[in-house]
Amino acid sequence: MAIDALVSKKAGALALIAATGLSLTSIPAGARPAAPTARQPAAAAHRLPGGLSALAWMVADADTGKVLASHNPHRRLAPASTLKTLFAVTVLPKFPAGHVRQVSAADLAGLGPGSSVVGVRQGRRYTVADLWRGVFLRSGNDAVHVLASMNGGWSATAREMQQTARRLGARDTTVKSPDGYDAPGQVSSAFDLTVFARAGLTNADFARYCATPRAAFPAAGGATVQIENTNRMLVGSHGLPRYPGIIGVKNGYTSKAGNTLVAAARRNGHTLIATVLNPQSGEANGVYKEAGALLDWGFNDVGRGEAVGGAGRPMRSVRSGA
């Protein structure tokens, strides 16, 4: 199985790559084959964790490019706010962090009812970094709308995200709403969302934002408020401890998508990504527990023998000027 990674050419991204173990040479080239076929593990070391109820999931080694295991990796499902990973891969490199935007009514037009928001207000001034913290920490659709407006508008951004997905080899994704808000026909897959996360992690700004547990956000009168990341694995909240080695990436929820999560962690020189879509168990924190179990399994298994699910082929790199 092949996963495309977008490689940033900026010096900051290269510094992050060195720090995390991702490198240009560690992302081998190769063709994207058909979806893997499941098979029984050959040894106890490869036995997958019990209780996995997600409609689709994947765990991959971001360093070597190996997909360690997967279930329905190309099943097309509503992604909820995990689609913001693709939004960030597409738009984040375009605007300097210190650039200031005074928000207009047009910037916030079309915000969906019930959207998650960070509290962006018309007439107030925000840096691009403020807006990205709103996107990654609070999953703020209002911040996405402002950044998309800066990028040429909602429809233009959706089209560009679609082009980015195709360039990365992510063929299961159809973009209708750049913020991940439920929209007819909008789908992605565990495979594609892993593609987007791995591409994003090669960008120093993306990696920093998605790993930030708490930050100050502008409020009225020049004051700030403290915002906390909604990713419970990252923060350690709602009865969950912070996951050891967690470095991001993005969680989501809508009534159509259920709970969705792309989680990346680094331990003992290895970076793994687990993507979990719509667990059916009904258990509290189920999406986080299943992702954590897959990461635990992956860290115990990485470097041993063959991958589960016929998924042992390397990911490939697509170099892009984006």
Give the residue numbers annotated as catalytic, written as ranges. 81, 84, 139
Residue 314: how many other CB atoms lie within 10 Å: 18
How many whole angstroms from its chain centre is CA 17?
17
Instruction: Give Cβ neighbours of residue 41 (< 8 Å, ≥ 6 apart).
Output: 47, 48, 308
Per-residue tokens: 285? 């924190």
**Phi, psi (degrees; rounded to nearest 5) at 273:** -125, 130
**Which among 195, 167, 149, 170 has a CA at the least distance from the CA of 322?**
167
Is 208:219 a contact under the CB 8 Å cutoff?
no
DSSP state of 187: B
Is 199:4 a contact under the CB 8 Å cutoff?
yes
Is 298:47 a contact under the CB 8 Å cutoff?
no
Residue 60: how many other CB atoms lie within 10 Å: 32
Whole-angstrom distance, CA of residue 260 vs CA of residue 250: 9
